[in-house]
Chain A
Amino acid sequence: AQKITQTQPGMFVQEKEAVTLDCTYDTSDPSYGLFWYKQPSSGEMIFLIYQGSYDQQNATEGRYSLNFQKARKSANLVISASQLGDSAMYFCAMREANYQLIWGAGTKLIIKP
Chain B
Amino acid sequence: NAGVTQTPKFQVLKTGQSMTLQCAQDMNHEYMSWYRQDPGMGLRLIHYSVGAGITDQGEVPNGYNVSRSTTEDFPLRLLSAAPSQTSVYFCASSPRDATGELFFGEGSRLTVL
Contacts and interface: CB of A to CB of B under 8 A. Distances in A.
Interface stretch (A11-19, A73-81, A90-98): A90-98
A105 B45 contact: no
Given A91-B42, A105-B41, A100 B102 contact: no
- Interface of chain B, main secondary structure: strand
Interface in B80-107: 88, 90, 92, 94, 96, 98-99, 101-104, 106-107
A20 B60 CA distance: 31
B48 to A, nearest CB: 7
A103 B48 contact: no
Contacts of A52: 99
Contact of A99 (B42, B48, B106): B48
Contacts of B99: 33, 50, 52
B45 A45 contact: no
B47 to A, nearest CB: 11
Contacts of B25: none
B27 interface: no
A45 B104 contact: yes
A43 interface: yes
Contacts of B103: 47
Nearest to B42: A103
A59 B68 CA distance: 34
Contacts of A25: none
Contacts of A96: 98
A61 B103 CA distance: 17
Nearest to B50: A99
A84 interface: no
Q: Please list the 5 inter-chain residue pairs (A to B) with the smallest Cβ-Cβ separation, ordered nearest first.
A: A103-B42, A45-B104, A103-B43, A47-B101, A105-B42
8 contacts: A33-B98, A43-B107, A93-B42, A99-B48, A99-B96, A100-B33, A103-B42, A106-B41
Given A33-B98, A105-B40, 10 more contacts: A35-B101, A44-B104, A45-B92, A45-B107, A93-B43, A95-B98, A99-B98, A100-B33, A100-B58, A101-B102
